[in-house]
Structure 1
């Protein structure tokens, strides 16, 4: 069995280990400023180091197989973790983890399908898994913010929503403004990032290609594709989450489910 890649990996980890000196500096500053974040910093960086090392071995295995089944399994695993994380953010939304997971799955699957149909990316692990990871990560953040903000806005404006319902409005009509506000707040960072990409900072995909030896012109071509898919996936996922939240916010008689909004 060829273990050459193992030797290359271990040699390559020397620089990441050397870079931990930056974390040592941060820990020292936290101690001197009495922030109390030393343990959390050490735990966070150690966990990231371990997780990324494991993922590196997993991806090495998947890339060497070139099997579509591994692509699907890796994608579903990412969606499951993202759904759980987003659901934790919106913990007062009933079945929030399932709502978030379904929304992220819908948004990223539709976007990925379009990219494959348009032949933007080949269906291989080396392309699909990193692309799916970027989409799932952004959709996770947007979906969690949307769900939490929608529930909180309805909670603070229960009287307005109940008045609209009493006057004959449907749940969608009664909460239209709250839904719009939640979506705008959740999607604004993604859109702002798209507006300033390349002007303030070079995104990860573009930076990685340039550092890997690709020309800047090749790097921006990929980055444009990445920004497009992030906007698409995030928008579909956030809108889907509002539709899936509605049934748990209202009773069958179109009244607010007060127990959802009384929990602190």
Structure 2
């Protein structure tokens, strides 16, 4: 089980302590100073007439607000003993991820629900294995960040899978209809399109695992090293992270194909015209 030692942090302090807020405000000086990088990007956008200045400012302001809110929410959850807060936070992440992935595949009927169920199943199974195998303790400080990484990757992969599957079936409609006319089931008729969509969606996750540590240090590993953990401890955790991301993403993407392809066909096993209309 992963257990890391660290120096006392804000997360271990009581917000009612005046020193908590003093240290918090001091800590915010660095994020504010880092705005210099954003101002540089805004200046470059203005000089190149990209007209992205306000979008950049809006994006960074929204990120600042969202992260500030979630920081205080997690601060509260981490101090709670009730496991229900872990489940609640996890379901919230899955709901947002399902909605976002469904938006990417907006032409897929009930895409948001399909994406949500797929993400929930893939990440829940993977998380269950990690807890049962005693890789992580079932505590908010471990489960919520780990679940967030899995849900985020599963969201991206699921959205791409569903969108690509619908696009490929539309492009190769004649081939699919020919297979149906020859007696193939809808699943058999779209087997090649399913495989292609899965390969395209999962390739970035697999490529990232192949090059991890060679091109860049991943976020989890970097965060641990900067937080005081040894590089060897950070590497151990990062290996676990890469394993769980591949597992959760694969389950979620495959399940999404099984759930969305029936909506591509009528009860008579014909392609549904309204699904593939522009």
TM superposition score category, shorter chain reference: over 0.9
**Cα shift readout 1:141-173 (whole Å, capped 9, x = no counterpart):** 000000000000000011100000010000110
Match of 2:4 in 1: none
- Which of residues 22, 25, 32 is equivalent to 1:17? 32
Match of 1:77 in 2: 92
Higher helix content, 1 or 2: 1
Residue 106 of structure 2 is aligned to residue 91 of structure 1: yes
Match of 1:6 in 2: 21
How big is the shift at 1:10? 1.8
**Cα shift readout 1:94-126 (whole Å, capped 9, x = no counterpart):** 010001000000000000001011000000000
Match of 1:167 in 2: 182
- CA distance in 1 between counterparts of 2:136 and 2:24 reads 27
Alignment of 1:40-79 (within 5 A): 40-79=55-94
How big is the shift at 1:6? 2.8
- CA distance in 2 between counterparts of 1:29 and 1:229 reads 39
- CA distance in 1 between counterparts of 2:60 and 2:173 reads 42
How big is the shift at 1:246? 1.4
Residue 131 of structure 2 is aligned to residue 116 of structure 1: yes
- CA distance in 2 between counterparts of 1:42 and 1:167 reads 56
Match of 2:116 in 1: 101
- Which of residues 237, 240, 260 is equivalent to 2:255? 240
- CA distance in 1 between counterparts of 2:208 and 2:249 reads 13
| More deviation, 65-74/137-146 | 65-74
Residue 156 of structure 2 is aligned to residue 147 of structure 1: no
- CA distance in 2 between counterparts of 1:48 and 1:2 reads 27
- Which of residues 211, 214, 220 is equivalent to 1:196? 211
Q: Give the aligned CA root-mean-square deviation in angstroms.
A: 0.8
Gaps of 5+ in 1: none
How big is the shift at 1:4? 3.5
Match of 1:253 in 2: 268
**TM-score normalised per structure 2:** 0.93
Match of 1:28 in 2: 43
- CA distance in 2 between counterparts of 1:210 and 1:147 reads 37
Residue 158 of structure 2 is aligned to residue 158 of structure 1: no
- CA distance in 2 between counterparts of 1:11 and 1:124 reads 29
| More deviation, 227-236/59-68 | 59-68
Residue 198 of structure 2 is aligned to residue 183 of structure 1: yes
Alignment of 1:202-213 (within 5 A): 202-213=217-228
- CA distance in 1 between counterparts of 2:81 and 2:104 reads 35
